[in-house]
Amino acid sequence: MTISDPIADMLTRVRNAIMARHDSVLVPTSRMKLYIAKILKQEGFIDSYEVLGSRPQRQIRLHLRYDDKNQPAISGLERVSKPGLRVYVPNGEIPRVYGGSGLAIVSTSQGVMVGQQAWRQGIEIKKPNSPFIVLLVLLSPPGPGYQLDFLTPGIWPTRASSRKQIRHRPKRRI
């Protein structure tokens, strides 16, 4: 079966495994997925990952992280740049998710990395046509009294103004 967006498939598998409280999840392997798994491990969103199988049909097993109250380390995953709608941002406009408690993973000319790391390294855009692509956004659990929306207000560049402005706001009481 051909998958049109393998990264979104990986995120959906992880999201479903978290909702079902599985300890691990298997994902078909690609180089991009290995980079994403490495970043998830480094940032503490998963316990570990391992590559299983031989060359043609390798898979990645992601061991998911939960706290002592069985709450997942990942409270939300969102694919930002999709095959049908790429989202490009220059270095000065890399999103800060939940004021830094979340994580934006970007694809740069120097590889896949965390948005904050790309901003700190000051990776310059060599050509006007080669800005960063925001691959996905990860969220750590927010504090009580907040509903999960996904981004702090005002962080998306004006070029992405067609995207709905999503913000962190208090829950409404009925």
Any idea what the CATH number is for the domain that residue 39 is in? 3.30.1370.30
> Residue 109: which pLDDT band, with cuts at 50, 70 and 90?
confident
Residue 56 and residue 93 share a domain = no
Task: Compute the mean pLDDT over every residue in the chain, rounded to the nearest whole number.
Answer: 75
Whether 36 maps to a domain, the answer reads yes
The pLDDT score that the predictor gives to residue 166 is: 40
Same domain, 85 and 153: yes
Rounded to whole angstroms, the Cα distance separating 125 from 109 reads: 8
Q: Are residues 144 and 83 in the same domain?
A: yes
Q: For residues 33 and 91, state if they share a domain.
A: no
Q: For the chain, percent helix, then strand, then coil, each to nearest 5?
A: 25, 30, 45
| Dihedral sign from CA coordinates of 47, 110, 30, 133 | positive
Q: Each residue of 129-172: pLDDT tens digit?
A: 445 566 666 665 544 444 444 444 444 433 333 344 344 444 45
What pLDDT is attached to residue 51? 95
Domain assignment of residue 170, yes or no:
no
Whole-number pLDDT of residue 129: 46
What's the domain range around 143?
A: 76-160
Which of these ranges, 24-33, 55-64, 76-85, has the smallest mean pLDDT? Answer: 76-85
Number of domains in the chain: 2
Please indicate, yes or no, if residue 134 is contained in any of the structural domains: yes
Contact partners, residue 74, CB within 8 Å, separation at least 6 = 14, 18, 45, 46, 64, 65, 138, 139, 140
pTM of the complete model = 0.74
Predicted confidence at residue 140, as pLDDT, reads 58
pLDDT of residue 12: 92
Residue 165 lies in a domain: no
Residue 172 belongs to a domain:
no
Confidence of residue 128 (pLDDT cuts 50, 70, 90): very low
What residue type is assigned to position 87 of the chain? V
Is residue 14 domain-shared with residue 60, that is, in the same domain?
Answer: yes
The residue-averaged pLDDT of 102-111 equals 82
Pair 94, 29 in one domain: no
* Type and span of the H or E element at 83: none
The pLDDT of residue 30 is above 50: yes
Instruction: Identify the residue with better confidence: 156 or 42.
Output: 42
Of 34, 64, 94, the residue that ends a domain is 64
Shared-domain flag, residues 82 and 59: no
Q: Do 81 and 48 lie in a common domain? A: no
What is the average per-residue pLDDT within 2-29?
Answer: 92
Strands 46-52 and 59-64: antiparallel
